[in-house]
């Protein structure tokens, strides 16, 4: 056992020391000397963010069910502890045992957001195992990445030994068995990576070679050895009822971002919004049964003492068992003062009826996500919402007692015009006018319609992966056009408008569609002192631009340049089920303003049916 006690003196120097001491309710305790594999589950952000992530809790529960594996948690130290650890040379440690990560067999990092990339380097650096994979000793932990950003792992390729492409429940046990056998035989690091590359869904970047054309685009991406597959197929857990799900979720000592029990009711989405990466990479739609959800809800609430439970999915309204689940939770838990959170709902009569039962309508606001201000633009992005549907939903909400509405939009989308931009203000004004035209018994003071805009970032494996981004100044210009239009509206006092930071958008866009050449940029930015780029107060745009220039890279190559439909992308070696041919069809339909029906209305032949289940299996009109 390594003696690393977090001293009282050190804990008194830092903010929220409870982030680092572990011992929460439902924490797993094992003797590290009595397991074969030690697995550090790392989240490259502060504790409050990481502990809100259900995926981390699923992997934690799944691996700790094995007697031969001890899975422990590691979070990025906040800036105050980061400083003290460097001064006192304290290595990165796990919460459960307080042991340094360099003593573990695996250092698994979940990669949820591009702006956390420098925090990944922070964790590797503080762990003392070598930031670059090529610099690691034989006895260093194997660094493996998972999560949505691994669908383009290339900007991080030089730092990771492996990436896990797909859902964690599928092949982790197989990898643990393989490693146990490898460890017992005393095999080399290189040998294990070669064997791991043969597990479906495992990508070992050091086993592949990339060449480039003179214009910077990729010429070829090929395996160096026969054991490495040319294509890595994402792993999908098709049966969500008979798989791992934590009934005893960890209960943090301090308030975290999502401070509640979480019920993941389904995975995937039928909607096909063309900007949405999650809607493509998590296909096909798969539901959990009502029986499983009620069982998990009962167990989770009993084991945690939480007073709130949330339904999690990309589009909760599409869950076929939603009425039954909502009614069960209301009947069993409203009298026990358990709050029920229902995000991602389409506002219809059923949703409003349920929300009126579980929310204080005088205090809460309802959220709509039109994404675009005009119907033309909503058709381009395949949102599947008409202005009539939005207005009807808002009006029904007003009649139900709500007078606060939040609207989410995106600017900088392909083909966007000034009319589309101004349409954001006009839609907000129309909703406010609808409120004031209701009979007086439905109006409760002034209406509040708040609109917020993010800026569009093209993501891999979406129909918009070929799209050009705007320049930073252009994003700001468009935001001011919309802001000025809000000020002209008759009910402007009832309206509000805010927008995302355009500098962050540009860097996110660089990293989202980046290639291996960005690894050195990320390293240099980290060496300039950058961590917590996702936090506005720490983000340093100039450092990113300097590092791009120092490495001879023009950021416009990754953001604003047009892309040929046949260009080889850094992520093309990954097979997500959804085909590139389908994404091209959707891109062309977007440019023509044509909509595609959702998966329950008609199968669009995206390719995800090959996984053999989910909504694809139910569809009666499959397309070959």
Q: What fold does the segment set 8-233 form as a domain? A: Rossmann fold (3.40.50)
* Confidence tier at 6 by pLDDT (50, 70, 90): low
How far apart CA 169 and CA 235 sit, in angstroms, is 9
Helix (H) or strand (E) holding 117: helix 117-127
Q: Per mean pLDDT, which range of 10-19, 169-178, 497-506, 514-523 is the poorest?
A: 10-19
Distance of CA 343 to the CA centre of its chain: 15
* Angle of CA points 104, 84, 88, to nearest 5°: 70
Helix (H) or strand (E) holding 410: strand 404-411
- Integer-rounded Cα Rg, in Å, for the chain is 25
β-pair partners for 162: 144
Question: Is the confidence at residue 241, as pLDDT, over 50?
Answer: yes
The CA–CA distances, whole Å, from 601 to 273, 344, 579 equal 15, 20, 20
Tell me the HSE value of 476 on the side-chain side, using a 13 A CA sphere. 8
CB atoms within 10 A of CB 606: 24
Strand intervals (E) in 213-278: 218-223, 232-233, 261-264, 266-267
pLDDT (average), residues 177-190: 96
Over residues 396-433, the pLDDT tens digits come to 999 989 999 999 999 999 999 999 999 999 999 999 99
Contact (Cβ atoms closer than 8 angstroms) between residue 78 and residue 286: no
Name the DSSP letter for residue 283. P
* Confidence tier at 622 by pLDDT (50, 70, 90): very low
For residue 535, what are its two tokens? 């936090």
pTM of the entire predicted model? 0.95
* Confidence tier at 621 by pLDDT (50, 70, 90): very low
Contact (Cβ atoms closer than 8 angstroms) between residue 24 and residue 52: no
Contact (Cβ atoms closer than 8 angstroms) between residue 74 and residue 120: no
Name the DSSP letter for residue 13. T
Question: Is the confidence at residue 446, as pLDDT, over 50?
Answer: yes
Task: Give the closest residue to 514 by CA, choosing from 154, 162, 219, 158.
Answer: 154
Helix (H, G, I), strand (E, B) or coil at 463: helix
CB atoms within 10 A of CB 272: 24
> Which CATH number does 360-517+553-562 carry?
3.30.750.200
Asked, as a colleague might, if the bond just before 166 is cis with ω within 30 of 0, I would say no
pLDDT (average), residues 31-46: 98
Could you tell me whether strands 218-223 and 208-212 are parallel, antiparallel, or unpaired per DSSP bridges? Answer: antiparallel
Element counts in the chain: helices (H) and strands (E): 20, 19
* Angle of CA points 326, 328, 334, to nearest 5°: 85
Name the residue with higher pLDDT: 579 or 259.
579
For residue 376, what are its two tokens? 């033309």
pLDDT score recorded for residue 341: 84
For residue 312, what are its two tokens? 């999690």
What are the residue ranges spanned by the domains of the chain? 8-233, 360-517+553-562
pLDDT score recorded for residue 363: 65
Task: Give the closest residue to 50 by CA, choosing from 532, 525, 509.
Answer: 532
Over residues 127-178, the pLDDT tens digits come to 999 999 999 999 999 999 999 999 999 999 999 999 999 999 999 999 999 9
pLDDT (average), residues 281-295: 97
Burial 359-387 (b: 16+ CB within 10 A, else e): bebeeeebebbbbbbbbebbbbbbbbbeb
Q: For CA atoms 385, 391, 394, 396, give the dihedral sign.
A: negative
pLDDT (average), residues 368-385: 96
Question: Is the confidence at residue 614, as pLDDT, over 90?
Answer: no
Contact (Cβ atoms closer than 8 angstroms) between residue 162 and residue 203: yes
């Amino acid at each position: 056992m390594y003696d690393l006690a977090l001293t009282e003196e050190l804990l008194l120097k830092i903010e929220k020391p409870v982030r680092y001491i572990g011992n929460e309710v439902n924490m797993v305790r094992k003797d590290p000397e009595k397991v074969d594999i030690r697995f550090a589950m790392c989240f490259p952000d502060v504790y409050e963010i990481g502990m809100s992530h259900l995926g981390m809790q699923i992997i934690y529960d799944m691996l700790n069910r094995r007697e031969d594996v001890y899975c422990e948690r590691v979070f990025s130290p906040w800036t105050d502890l980061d400083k003290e650890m460097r001064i006192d040379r304290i290595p990165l440690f796990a919460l459960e045992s307080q042991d340094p990560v360099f003593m573990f067999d695996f250092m698994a990092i979940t990669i949820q957001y591009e702006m956390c990339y420098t925090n990944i380097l922070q964790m590797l650096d503080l762990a003392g195992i070598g930031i670059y994979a090529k610099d690691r000793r034989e006895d260093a932990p194997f660094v493996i990445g998972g999560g949505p950003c691994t669908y383009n792992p290339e900007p991080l390729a030089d730092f990771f030994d492996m990436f896990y492409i797909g859902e964690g429940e599928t092949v982790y046990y197989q990898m643990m068995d393989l490693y146990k056998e490898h460890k017992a035989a005393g095999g080399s690091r290189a040998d294990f990576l070669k064997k791991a590359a043969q597990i479906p869904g495992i990508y070992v970047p050091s086993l592949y070679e990339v060449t480039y054309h003179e214009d910077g685009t990729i010429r070829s991406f090929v395996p160096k050895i026969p054991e490495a597959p040319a294509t890595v197929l994402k792993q999908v857990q098709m049966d969500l009822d008979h798989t791992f799900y934590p009934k005893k979720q960890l209960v943090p000592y301090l308030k975290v971002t999502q401070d509640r029990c979480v019920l993941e009711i389904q995975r995937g989405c039928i909607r096909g919004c063309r900007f949405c990466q999650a809607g493509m990479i998590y296909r096909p739609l798969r539901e959990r049964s009502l029986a499983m959800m009620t069982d998990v809800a009962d167990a989770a609430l009993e084991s945690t003492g939480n007073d709130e439970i949330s339904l999690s999915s990309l589009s909760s309204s599409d869950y076929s068992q939603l009425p039954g689940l909502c009614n069960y939770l209301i009947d069993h838990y409203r009298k026990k003062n358990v709050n029920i959170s229902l995000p991602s709902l389409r506002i219809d009569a059923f949703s409003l009826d349920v929300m009126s039962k579980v929310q204080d309508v005088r205090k809460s606001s309802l959220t709509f996500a039109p994404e675009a201000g005009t119907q033309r633009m909503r058709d381009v992005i395949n949102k599947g919402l008409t202005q009539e549907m939005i207005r009807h939903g808002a009006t029904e909400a007003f009649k139900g007692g709500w007078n606060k509405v939040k609207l989410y939009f995106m600017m900088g989308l392909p083909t966007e015009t000034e009319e589309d931009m101004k349409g954001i203000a006009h839609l907000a004004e129309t909703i406010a006018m609808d409120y004031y035209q209701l009979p007086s018994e439905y109006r409760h003071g002034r209406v509040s319609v708040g609109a917020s805009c993010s800026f569009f970032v093209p993501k891999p494996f979406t129909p918009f992966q070929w799209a050009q981004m705007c320049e930073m100044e252009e994003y700001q210009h468009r935001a001011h056009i919309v802001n000025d239009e809000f000020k002209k509206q008759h009910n402007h006092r009832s309206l509000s408008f805010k927008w995302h930071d355009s500098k962050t958008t540009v860097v996110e866009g660089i990293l989202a569609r980046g290639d291996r050449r960005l690894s050195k940029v990320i390293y240099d930015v980290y060496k300039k002192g950058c961590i917590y780029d996702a936090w506005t107060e720490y983000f340093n745009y100039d450092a990113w631009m300097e590092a791009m220039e120092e490495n001879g890279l023009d950021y416009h190559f990754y953001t604003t340049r047009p892309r040929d439909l046949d260009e080889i992308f850094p992520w093309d070696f990954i097979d997500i089920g959804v085909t590139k041919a389908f994404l091209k069809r959707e891109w062309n339909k977007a440019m023509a303003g044509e909509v595609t029906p959702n998966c329950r209305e008609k199968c669009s032949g995206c390719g995800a049916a090959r996984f053999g289940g989910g909504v694809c299996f139910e569809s009666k009109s499959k397309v070959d």
